Amino acid sequence: DTAVSQTPKYLVTQMGNDKSIKCEQNLGHDTMYWYKQDSKKFLKIMFSYNNKELIINETVPNRFSPKSPDKAHLNLHINSLELGDSAVYFCASSPGILGSYNEQFFGPGTRLTVL
Amino acid sequence: AQTVTQSQPEMSVQEAETVTLSCTYDTSESDYYLFWYKQPPSRQMILVIRQEAYKQQNATENRFSVNFQKAAKSFSLKISDSQLGDAAMYFCAYRRITQGGSEKLVFGKGTKLTVNP
Categorise residue B71: left if φ over 0, alpha if ψ from -120 to 50, beta otherwise.
Answer: alpha
Query: Is the separation of the CB atoms in A43 and B91 below 8 Å?
Result: yes
- pLDDT tens figures, A84-96: 999 999 999 998 7
CB within 8 Å: A97 and B103: yes
Least confident of A50-54, A67-71, A75-79: A50-54
What's the confidence (pLDDT) of residue B83?
Answer: 97
Query: Smallest Cα–Cα separation from A61: which of A79, A41, A48?
Result: A79
User: Which residues of A are less than 8 Å from B102 in CB distance?
Assistant: 31, 48, 50, 55-56, 96-97
Q: Would you say residue A99 has pLDDT above 60?
A: no
pLDDT at B99 over 80: no
Q: pLDDT for B48-97, tens place per residue?
A: 999 998 888 999 999 999 999 999 999 999 999 999 999 999 999 998 87
Who wins on pLDDT, A51 or A72? A72
